[in-house]
């Protein structure tokens, strides 16, 4: 695997019980959670989504990750963390680069054709027995091309490479490996992998997966969890912590998978998903279109920044779910969560204040959120709009930021805690980070053992 130069996997031994588990156990014990548990899930072949840099020469392409602390790409053929079909698709891509003389990107010169590739595995195939679906997953390939659009001078090479992948890995090949081929066009010199322009080239347009009791759609531009099985496990555990009929706000929602899963399985009165990336909207719409007609609650998606006037998203919800990027919660949201109970005596004045808001940046944000929103189901009731949250569930993919948020939220008060399973609940939301998040940290640590997302780029 190349443990030493490859910065992706930080542990080689004791993957079933890495050192960080002891730290987490002690952390939660200090907050009254004595029965914290750790679930390692699969230790190899678990990664179903990978973003890989492509450098080197056309006759010897390097497809892998940056060596830690550098922008030198380390080739990682047959990575043990990858789903086996990602490794197979990488080798097929390598062969295509060589045969078609595709020029890997030169970061110093800004030249070359192929910058990165994102590979995502879908295990959604109802024609196969459930036990065979994971190992027979198909790979969606997204080629990050060094040009402005499909009309650029090197577009013929792009089409040739896409056709090569489809011809040798599509439905007429054995095995059938490739689900679809997409192109993303990027000419920026910063560390952001993807540009804003996407193009579907070959194969199926829609990418489906079944997690948390629902079918979900994910476009290549949408954020998706790398560990599909662990995410499914997390969602199913999460369900039992949300009361039936609750009103839920899903912050940093992406395509709304968590919120929609709760709406479908807990018969939520209302679910509102808030996400800053507008590219997630089509995936949300496709997912809700597959929901059964028996879903009677309100489900909405809003293109908004949760750091701007976060109280407006908290009020009206019984349960808040946060799934922030690795940096953790925005400080304004932490402050809002910590002080939300102080709004209870003045809900009516809060409602009137919203109408009288005059700050232009707040008004612009609200208008943009309204224009970018999607809503299905019944309208929310007056009671919904006046209620305050009673529970927070924190799903973390960054252990250090989780601890910092916890310190920030509990700095002013140290309330009496009551334990529930390996989780902890705070009344009145005064301590923002209740330890129902222990459910997610089990999954977080599992992903961190062999995770390399933090290394490749800083685009999240």
pLDDT band at 359 (very low <50, low <70, confident <90, very high): low
Among 10-24, 62-76, 337-351, 422-436, the range scoring the smallest mean pLDDT is 422-436
Q: Which residues are catalytic?
A: 397
pLDDT band at 165 (very low <50, low <70, confident <90, very high): very high
Mean residue pLDDT across the chain: 82
CB atoms within 10 A of CB 108: 6
Cis amide bond preceding 175, omega within 30:
yes
Kindly report the pTM of this predicted structure.
Answer: 0.82
**Contact present, 46 and 81 (Cβ < 8 Å):** yes
Encode pLDDT of 180-202 as tens digits. 999 999 999 888 999 999 999 99
Please give the DSSP secondary-structure letter assigned to residue 217.
Answer: E
**Of residues 435 and 217, more confidently modeled:** 217
Averaged pLDDT for residues 293-314: 92
Map tokens 């959120």 to a residue.
Answer: 369
Q: Where are the domains of the chain?
A: 49-205, 225-449
> What pLDDT does residue 376 have?
75
Q: What CATH code is assigned to 225-449?
A: 3.40.50
User: In whole angstroms, how far apart are CA 371 and each of 241, 297, 351, 356?
Assistant: 32, 21, 21, 20
107 is in an annotated binding site: no
Residues in Cβ contact with 77 at an 8 Å cutoff, skipping those fewer than 6 apart: 63, 87, 90, 91, 94
Averaged pLDDT for residues 165-194: 96
**Contact present, 61 and 70 (Cβ < 8 Å):** no
Query: 168 pLDDT exceeds 50?
Result: yes
> What pLDDT does residue 255 have?
95
Structure tokens at 41: 């899930």
Q: Indicate the burial class of 112 (C-beta count within 10 angstroms; 0-12, 13-18, 19 or more).
A: buried
> What pLDDT does residue 415 have?
32
At 268 the three-state DSSP class reads coil
Q: What CATH code is assigned to 49-205?
A: 2.40.50.1070
Please give the DSSP secondary-structure letter assigned to residue 82.
Answer: B
275 is in an annotated binding site: yes
> What pLDDT does residue 349 have?
47
Encode pLDDT of 419-434 as tens digits. 333 333 333 333 333 4
Encode pLDDT of 118-136 as tens digits. 999 999 999 999 999 999 9
Encode pLDDT of 54-75 as tens digits. 999 999 999 999 988 888 999 9
430 is in an annotated binding site: no
Distance CA 61, CA 41 (A): 33
């Amino acid at each position: 695997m190349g443990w030493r130069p490859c910065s992706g996997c930080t542990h080689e031994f004791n993957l079933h019980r890495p050192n960080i588990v002891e730290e987490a156990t002690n952390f939660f014990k200090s907050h009254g959670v004595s029965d914290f548990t750790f679930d390692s899930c699969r230790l190899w072949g678990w990664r179903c989504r990978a973003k890989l840099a492509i450098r080197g020469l056309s006759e010897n392409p390097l497809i892998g990750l940056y060596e830690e602390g550098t922008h030198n790409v380390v080739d990682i053929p047959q990575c043990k963390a990858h789903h086996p079909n990602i490794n197979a698709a990488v080798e097929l891509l390598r062969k295509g680069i060589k045969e078609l003389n595709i020029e890997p990107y030169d970061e110093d010169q800004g030249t070359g054709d192929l910058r990165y590739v994102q590979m995502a595995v879908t295990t959604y195939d109802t024609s196969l027995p459930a036990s065979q679906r994971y190992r027979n997953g198909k790979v969606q390939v997204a080629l990050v091309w060094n040009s402005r659009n499909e009309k650029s001078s090197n577009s013929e090479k792009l089409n040739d490479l896409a056709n090569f992948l489809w011809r040798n890995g599509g439905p007429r090949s054995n095995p059938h490996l490739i689900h679809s081929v997409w192109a993303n066009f990027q000419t920026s010199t910063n560390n952001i992998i993807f540009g804003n322009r996407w193009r579907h080239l070959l194969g199926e347009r829609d990418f489906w997966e079944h997690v948390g009791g629902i079918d979900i759609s994910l476009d290549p531009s949408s954020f998706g969890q790398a560990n599909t099985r662990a995410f499914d496990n997390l969602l199913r555990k999460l369900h039992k912590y949300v009361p039936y009929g609750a009103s839920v706000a899903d912050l940093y929602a992406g395509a709304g998978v968590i919120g929609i899963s709760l709406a479908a399985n807990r018969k939520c009165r209302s679910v509102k998903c808030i996400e800053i990336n507008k590219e997630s909207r089509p995936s949300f719409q496709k997912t809700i279109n597959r929901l059964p007609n028996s879903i009677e609650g309100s489900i909405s998606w809003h293109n908004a920044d949760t750091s701007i006037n976060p109280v407006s998203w908290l009020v009206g919800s019984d349960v808040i779910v946060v799934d922030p990027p690795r940096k953790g919660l925005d400080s304004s949201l932490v402050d809002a969560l910590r002080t939300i109970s102080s709004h209870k005596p003045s809900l009516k004045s809060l409602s009137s204040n919203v109408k009288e808001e005059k700050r232009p940046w707040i008004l612009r944000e609200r208008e943009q959120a309204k224009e970018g929103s999607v809503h299905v189901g019944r309208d929310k009731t007056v009671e919904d709009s006046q209620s305050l949250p009673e529970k927070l569930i924190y799903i973390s993919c960054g252990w250090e930021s989780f601890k910092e948020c916890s310190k920030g939220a509990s700095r002013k008060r140290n309330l009496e805690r009551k334990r529930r399973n390996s989780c902890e609940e705070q009344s009145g939301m005064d301590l923002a980070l209740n330890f129902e998040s222990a459910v997610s940290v089990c999954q977080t640590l599992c992903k961190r053992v062999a995770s390399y997302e933090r290394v490749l780029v800083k685009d999240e």
